[in-house]
Structure 1
Amino acid sequence: MADDDLDDVAAELYALTPAEFTAARNARADRASGDAARAIRALRKPVVAAYAVDLLAQAGALGEALELAAALREAQDDLDAAEMTRLGRQRRALVAALSRQAADLARDRGVAVSAAALGDVESTIDAAVRDDATAAAVLTGRLVRPLAATGVDPVDLTDAVGGSIPGIADRPARPPAPRDDLAERRARRAAEKALREAERAAADADRRLGRVEAAVAKARERAGHLAERTDELRAELERLQADAARAEAAVAAAEDERTAAAEGARAARRVADEARRAVDAATRPSGKGTGE
């Protein structure tokens, strides 16, 4: 039996619950013969955790997790610690959410997922996010047992899948990126970062220029207003100076008039005094007439 044929049969069988699997597998093997029958009968019943993950894969619910896996690997290649921290938090939240979804799918089909099995589901999904080969195994939807990633050694995929794993030979699933490619990506990211910083600096400079131009326009407007006010005050000063000069002339004229009036008053008093003495002399009795 060709691998593709066995994989098709296995896909049908692993869509069944673990309780249904064995009888269905044996019935299918009985309908085959020779190597095909032996290959089908060799398919192992999945444990509950693996069955729950298979349901998740068959539902096509792992796409977001694998996109996140690619972003994590790129951040690791580029040594972007901040991005790795952010994506790590996102990975943990996504793995937990997908694990709950897988358990719900299993329970909907009458398969209870214990706390221990749920931990194995999380471990398997987390391994798929961390490792390309594990992701390929999980995406078959024919997982037999749970998987775990140590972060050091490759995930052990021995007898982990019923049938073949497309695109996976032995190991490694994803060869290290060539240094030239890595250097090019880092150079591109550095150039993109420099471009973003330059664009931000240009935008900041444009905003500052706008603020300065507005300040200049305001200062020019105020200077024009003050110049007009200065002209008005200068004209007013000239009018006041002319008024002051006229007032001083009037004061001088009044003082001259006062001086003349004072002289006239003194002369008039002298005339009056002389007239008073003449009157007094005329009205004084004569001594000669009295003695006779």
Structure 2
Amino acid sequence: MSEELLAIADEIYALTLAEFTPARDARAKALKGSDLAKAVKTLKKPSLAAWIVNVLVRRDPDQVDQVLTVGAALREAAAAMSGEQLRALTRQRRQVTAAVTQQARSLATESGVKVTQAVTDQVEATLTAAMLDQRCAQAVRSGLLVTAITTTGVDEVDLGGAVALPAALGFEASPVASPDPDSDSDPDAPAAGTRPDLHVVPDPEAEVKALAAAQEALDEAEEQVKGARQAYEETVSSQTELEARSMQLQAEIDELKRRLADREESADEVDDALGDAEDARTEAYAELEEATATRDAAAAEVERRTT
């Protein structure tokens, strides 16, 4: 059943948010009476951020694959790199995720979906998590996300509620047709199907700075060099403290985003439950009318026979 369920989920999660619930319920109704019907009915509607990532995975799988490949390469190379190299790679990773996030936002806009900055941040956090963590990368590649995900790349991420099915990890979403390349899009975003330059880009001013530093070292006395070294060590210490504070603040921001996504998901679940309750009320009312009619007919018959 798992393969058939994955195939159905792949089809349903490729739809728009407005189409999701009706399509899911219709498919479950068509399979009524089977275990598969129950499983289909439990498929959760994705949050807006998760849906946008799912759209990106299906419409531009090559670029997503390349981003995930670069993320894997960065994870493998991190242990052997110096602090300066890691900072350069971190800056580039942020540039790449920001560019791909903007492209995902453009795809959503082309589908008529309004994307707020908060949702954009969740999309970027999800793509960043995919670059930092292999299991998060699998979750993204499945195209079956139901919530945005975040990670620092250190602690293991609980993906139990992040994907539609446990079997999603290792599953790859089916691609769909890309949008019209002539349509309006953000000029700063890479074109659909265009792979961004993801190799490590050196600082263009590095050589000039190095030459200036070398000339200064030649001109200065030993005491001046010692003073500069002491100042440098102080700035490194200050930078380390600021980086730790930045990571703490980012973790707090990610937690707030997660809570917001949870509230949005709860609201969607309540909406689905309300629809089911309305259907149940309509059926109960029809049964009440039928029972009332039967009772009135019986009462009329009794009255007729006693008069």
TM-score scaled to structure 2, two decimals? 0.52
- State yes or no: 1:92 paired with 2:94: yes
Measure, in 2, the Cα distance between the counterparts of 1:74 and 1:158: 26
Measure, in 2, the Cα distance between the counterparts of 1:157 and 1:22: 22
Match of 1:140 among 136, 139, 142: 142
Q: Which residue of 2 is the match for residue 200 of structure 1? A: none
By how many angstroms is 1:73 displaced? 0.9
Measure, in 2, the Cα distance between the counterparts of 1:107 and 1:8: 27
What count of residue pairs does the alignment treat as equivalent?
167
Q: Which residue of 2 is the match for residue 158 of structure 1? A: 160
Measure, in 2, the Cα distance between the counterparts of 1:85 and 1:70: 17
For 1:142, the aligned partner's letter is L
For 1:149, the aligned partner's letter is T
Q: Which residue of 2 is the match for residue 67 of structure 1? A: 69
Instruction: Give yes or no for contact 2:142–2:170 (8 Å, CA) kept in 1.
Output: no
Q: Which residue of 1 is the match for residue 215 of structure 2? A: none
By how many angstroms is 1:74 displaced? 1.7
Measure, in 2, the Cα distance between the counterparts of 1:72 and 1:135: 13
Measure, in 1, the Cα distance between the counterparts of 2:5 and 2:89: 38
- State yes or no: 1:54 paired with 2:61: no
For 1:10, the aligned partner's letter is A
Q: Which residue of 2 is the match for residue 31 of structure 1? A: 30
Instruction: Give yes or no for contact 2:144–2:168 (8 Å, CA) kept in 1.
Output: no
Q: Which has the higher contact order (CA 8 A, sep 6+)?
A: 2
Q: Which residue of 2 is the match for residue 15 of structure 1? A: 14
By how many angstroms is 1:138 displaced? 0.4
TM-score scaled to structure 1, two decimals? 0.55
By how many angstroms is 1:151 displaced? 3.4
Instruction: Give yes or no for contact 1:47–1:145 (8 Å, CA) kept in 2.
Output: yes
Map 1:1-292 onto structure 2 (within 5 A).
2-33=1-32, 34-59=34-59, 60=61, 61-163=63-165, 164-167=167-170
Q: Which residue of 2 is the match for residue 283 of structure 1? A: none
For 1:66, the aligned partner's letter is L
Instruction: Give yes or no for contact 2:49–2:119 (8 Å, CA) kept in 1.
Output: yes
For 1:36, the aligned partner's letter is L
Measure, in 1, the Cα distance between the counterparts of 2:152 and 2:169: 23
Structure number with higher helix proportion: 1
CA RMSD of aligned residues (A): 1.5
Instruction: Give yes or no for contact 2:78–2:86 (8 Å, CA) kept in 1.
Output: yes
Q: Percent identity?
A: 42
Q: Which string of whole-angstrom CA distances, capped at 9 and with x for unpartnered residues, describes residues 91-144 of structure 1? A: 100100111111111111111111110010011000001000000000011111
Q: Give SS of 1:157's match.
A: coil
Larger radius of gyration: 1
Q: Which string of whole-angstrom CA distances, capped at 9 and with x for unpartnered residues, describes residues 22-50 of structure 1? A: 00000011111321001000000011100
Instruction: Give yes or no for contact 1:17–1:111 (8 Å, CA) kept in 2.
Output: no
